[in-house]
Amino acid sequence: MNTAPAEALVADVRPSLIVRIPPDELERLFPVPFVDLDPLAAAEPSRGALLRLASGRMVVIEYGLVTSRLTVSVPTQANIAETLVDLLREAQIDMDAVVWITDEIEVPAANVGTEGAEIHVLELWRTLQKKHRSASGENTHRS
């Protein structure tokens, strides 16, 4: 993964994933330069970066310096599941660190372009759905 110039992002983004990670873990997972965000544009002092993943997909990451929450936003025209799988694979984020995931993830019915990626997308979706149900108090057992 590398940082990308701001002009490379040609679409709006939508928050898709929030992960809680300590600052030293942030530097290890994302060895890229961050910029300080405008204090009036964020709920807390924050740093951010526009990343181009090895797959060519892009994400915006914002890290809250007070809460240690990393918000990952995906371009509106991108497939959220594919993009998050690429990010999780590349940064090797621990799934236990996931605090929130968008409910807009759709499990693709067809190959997503990378051999075996459709299996990873399905595993991501199942894991995050279980986590979401547990967090919301829904019964995860079906009769």
* Upper half-sphere CA count for residue 39 (Cβ side, 13 Å): 2
Among 18-27, 38-47, 111-120, 121-130, the minimum mean pLDDT is found in 111-120
104 found inside a domain: yes
71 found inside a domain: yes
Side chain identity at residue 20, one-letter code: R
143 found inside a domain: no
Encoded tokens for 121 = 């997308």
Side chain identity at residue 73, one-letter code: S
Query: What's the CA gap between 80 and 92, in Å, rounded?
Result: 17
The stretches of the chain forming alpha helices (DSSP H) are 23-29, 80-91, 117-136
Please tell me the pTM assigned to this model: 0.77
Query: What's the CA gap between 76 and 47, in Å, rounded?
Result: 22
Q: How many domains does the chain have?
A: 1
14 found inside a domain: yes
Residues in the chain, how many? 143
Q: Which of 56-60, 112-116, 138-142 has the highest mean pLDDT?
A: 56-60
141 found inside a domain: no
Give the domain range for residue 131. Answer: 2-136
96 found inside a domain: yes
Encoded tokens for 30 = 């994302």
Q: What are 37-54's pLDDT values in tens digits? A: 998 988 899 999 999 999
